[in-house]
Structure 1
Amino acid sequence: MMKKRSVVLGLVTILLATTAVGCSSGSSTSSSNNSNSSAKKEAGITMDQFNKINLDENNGTSLDDLKKELGKPSSTSTSTVQTQTVDLNTWSKGLGNSLAVGFSNGHAISKHINGLKVNRKNKITLDSFGQVQNGQSEDDVKKMLGDPNGINTSTIAGTTITILTYTSGLKGSLGSNATVTITNGAVSGESQSGLE
């Protein structure tokens, strides 16, 4: 059991790191492609498209199904943890947002969307962020802080980890941000940098 748990934690760590890198590099690819394209403008990745991606090691959405929906990925990479290989595919469309999906054995096990435009009624402050507590649901967090600018979800060995990232509408120093980690439906951690 401990060996399986360490493999799961290792894979989650790799997926979180590679999807963040994949999305940020995908965004820069997208902006250079957009500046060179003629009149063809692509709409961004929608939350509906993101939400339709099913994560499951045995029955998750396939790469072929996503290619039918989104077209050819902008970039691809591969990572291996012990004996498990994860293929990361990134789509960059429109201005600002990108989608990275990790596949294992042909099935989606992680998905990350970033660059979501959010209009907040109230700025997120250190005090309002401090109201987020372990055990709360994702809906509770969204009611307090609003929609996130990025969502990263991974499902491996029956454990689902979602990280909500907040980068706009914050009261704080330049580059301030906040993240909330949700494990199997309940807040399991939070962190912030530069909030006031």
Structure 2
Amino acid sequence: MAKKIKDENGNTYVQKKPFYKRVWFWILVVIVVAVGASMGGNKDNGSKDTSSKSESATSTSTAKIKHSDFDAVKIGDLMQSADGGDTLDSLKEKFGEPKSTSSSETNGVKTDVVTWDKVDNKIGSSMVISFTDGKAFSKDLTGFKLTRKNKIDLAQFNEVANGTSYNDVINKFGEPDNYTETLIGGDKQTMVMYTSGVKGDLGANFNITFSNDAVSGKSQTSMK
């Protein structure tokens, strides 16, 4: 929110919040870092921008992870140092060593993105958790391919309106193939993506975004 300031002559100026303190900026950072990690980990791209840096490491995930385990992971608010989120140490103790770890630093805020693979023993699926100060503030479930009894078509997708509840969407379409949940600045942001059982051309898919469990946007590709 912009802040109004008056000078000694009575003139009013608007002081905008720095972009790196805005919620949208950190949501974008989380999405970029998480996507990079799920594709094999972040690597330093040689940029001269010293405000952001990253490092990565890989190992082998050993524990069996259930979908319910992912659902149970607690996340805290990034703007509150992720207080209340599960700790990295506790999740390592529960799930074993992760498949990969990636670290980055943006404007003095360090985040660690940790990936465990084979959720419900599904090849290609991953649980990706983002941490700051060793506590979780974001979680992603990727590549969780589902077998659906009925295909989801474009007409059904178009029926989803802004404000529709998260539970109503899940009851309508079933569990998503990809799920992302982040808590930043007191707002819970969720994005779900459906890639299996979608009617359309090869690669047809759609995603729906939620703000505090209410639909705030959606998009689709090649649906019929």
**Aligned counterparts of 1:165 and 1:24: Cα–Cα separation in 2:** 17
1:135 partnered with 2:163: yes
TM-score w.r.t. the length of structure 2 is 0.75
1:46 partnered with 2:66: yes
Q: How much is the aligned-residue C-alpha RMSD, in angstroms?
A: 2.1
Q: Which residue of 2 aligns with 1:7?
A: 22
**Any conservation in 1 of the 2:63–2:96 contact (CA below 8 Å)?**
no
Q: Which has the larger helix fraction?
A: 1
**Any conservation in 2 of the 1:152–1:164 contact (CA below 8 Å)?**
yes
**Aligned counterparts of 2:18 and 2:157: Cα–Cα separation in 1:** 34
- Structure 1 runs not aligned, ≥5 long: 27-32, 35-40
**Aligned counterparts of 1:167 and 1:25: Cα–Cα separation in 2:** 20
- Equivalent position SS for 2:202: strand
**Aligned counterparts of 1:71 and 1:7: Cα–Cα separation in 2:** 35
Counterpart pick for 2:174 among 146, 168, 173 = 146
**Aligned counterparts of 2:172 and 2:26: Cα–Cα separation in 1:** 30
Q: Which residue of 2 aligns with 1:29?
A: none
| Cα distance change of structure 1 residues 155 and 4 upon mapping to structure 2, 3 Å threshold | farther
1:182 partnered with 2:210: yes
TM-score w.r.t. the length of structure 1 is 0.85
Question: What pairs up with 1:1-196 in 2 under 5 angstroms?
Answer: 1=1, 3=17, 6-25=21-40, 43=64, 45-56=65-76, 57-93=82-118, 94=121, 95-196=123-224
**Aligned counterparts of 1:107 and 1:4: Cα–Cα separation in 2:** 25
**Aligned counterparts of 2:152 and 2:35: Cα–Cα separation in 1:** 22
Report the number of matched residues: 183
**Aligned counterparts of 1:142 and 1:4: Cα–Cα separation in 2:** 37
Select the structure of larger CA radius of gyration: 2
- Structure 2 runs not aligned, ≥5 long: 3-16, 42-59, 77-81
